[in-house]
């Protein structure tokens, strides 16, 4: 009986972890579609509806692992939040996404969480 309970608890925690990770990836997809897809494309191939008028052209985000590693992590998030952000995103203090991503509800922690969820979603799209 104790083994069955322990097994049930272990399986339940795995399901909860998977569901949470899956939910974060889906929320990341929603964030990506809202803040990134116009430039980087729905499939993150760098061919969004406004990509043709941008110089430089937005990169394909399906190939980030070659630059930032696998899984995408701290280096990628630091790049997005840090001073090396591409000029097309505006200054590192005020990216083109504006205050919604910088402070979605007045909390920087919320914005960083959204960026991590977008990174989780982009991780699921890596091709190499």
Could you tell me which of 100, 125, 120 has the C-alpha nearest to residue 24? 120
| Token output for 26 | 């889906």
Rounded distance between C-alpha atoms, residue 1 and residue 55, angstroms:
65
Q: What is the pLDDT of residue 29?
A: 93
Q: What are the tens digits of pLDDT across the range 75-103?
A: 888 777 665 666 666 655 555 665 556 65
Element (H, E) at 90: strand 90-91
Helix (H, G, I), strand (E, B) or coil at 60: coil
Q: How far apart are CA 63 and CA 125, in angstroms?
A: 8
C-alpha distance from residue 51 to each of 11, 21, 43, 103 (Å): 45, 31, 13, 26
- Say which DSSP state 128 is in: -
**Whole-number pLDDT of residue 111:** 74
The whole domain housing 89 covers 2-125
**pLDDT level of residue 16 (50, 70, 90 thresholds):** very low
* Residue 25 pLDDT: 82
What is the model's pLDDT at position 62?
92
Q: Any idea which of 11-15, 18-22, 53-57, 118-122 has the lowest mean pLDDT?
A: 11-15
Please give the tally of structural domains in the chain.
1
pTM: 0.71
- Residue 45 pLDDT: 95
């Amino acid at each position: 009986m104790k083994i069955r309970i322990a097994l049930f608890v272990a399986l339940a925690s795995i399901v909860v972890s998977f569901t949470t990770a899956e939910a974060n990836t889906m929320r990341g997809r929603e964030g990506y579609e809202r803040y990134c897809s116009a430039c980087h494309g729905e499939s993150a191939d760098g061919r969004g509806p406004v990509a043709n008028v941008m110089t430089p052209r937005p990169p394909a985000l399906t190939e980030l692992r070659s630059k930032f590693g696998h899984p995408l992590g701290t280096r990628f998030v630091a790049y997005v939040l840090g001073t090396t952000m591409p000029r097309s995103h505006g200054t590192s203090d005020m990216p083109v996404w504006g205050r919604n991503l910088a402070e979605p509800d007045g909390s920087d922690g919320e914005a960083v969480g959204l960026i991590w969820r977008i990174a989780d979603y982009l991780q699921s799209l890596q091709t190499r």
